[in-house]
Amino acid sequence: MKSKSTPDSARSNKDKFVSQQEIWDKIAPEWHKFKTAPAEHTIKFLKKTSGKVLDLGSGSGRHLIKIKDGKMYLIDFSKEMLKLAEKKAKKEKIDAEFKQTNLWELPYEDEFFDYAISISSLHCVEGEKNREKAVKEIYRVLKKGGKAEIGVWNIKSKRFKNIKGKDKYVKWTDKGERYYYLYDEKEVHDLFKKYGFKIISTHNSEMMINFVVEK
């Protein structure tokens, strides 16, 4: 699952042949403790939803909440992340479903979901073709008029001012290097427009490009 646009020199020899799924499985327990607080704007978005809500790249479930007249469906390629999300659901008595899969291979019927969120997950997908497929899949599984909140890292953030190129590997202790693709706002907006979405609102932070799209 390597990105064709990423030179091997961008990775350590140790992680060159280790899949991102394996790395996220390894860091899951530490990540769960580190990334617990949900994004406020995402919770506000979710509280206005109902019916079937898809969380793409859910991680350990930091945005998992009870949905009015419906429930959340969480997907992630890391089975260890999903195990932690399931534990949270049981502890908080939240009705939800969990599937291990890739963002570009959604195991759902056309127009199955009323809403979706993809927070800090699309930029973790290696390879331009897979990122484009992921956006096409979000469009496919959303009902007409369905909305999705999207959040990706912003290449113009101060954090990345010394970074060359858009493909980046970030070390997590001694457990491996996480892949990220750094978007600029126009690029990611154009990507969603290309596959039929309308951008209906934006709420960027210094580090993140956040926006809501409608099918």
Beta strands in the chain (DSSP E): 50-56, 68-76, 96-100, 113-119, 142-153, 167-172, 176-181, 198-202, 208-214
CA 164, chain centre distance (Å): 23
CATH architecture of the domain formed by 8-113+135-179+194-214:
3-Layer(aba) Sandwich (3.40)
Domain residue ranges of the chain, discontinuous segments joined by +: 8-113+135-179+194-214
In the chain, how many H helices and how many E strands?
5, 9
In the chain, the largest separation of any two C-alpha atoms, in whole Å, equals 50
Reply yes or no on whether the pLDDT at 4 is more than 80: no
Dump pLDDT digits (tens) for 126-163.
999 999 999 999 999 999 999 999 999 999 999 888 88
Res. 15 pLDDT band, cuts 50 70 90: very low
Are the C-beta atoms of 178 and 146 separated by less than 8 Å? no
Give pLDDT, residue 173.
79
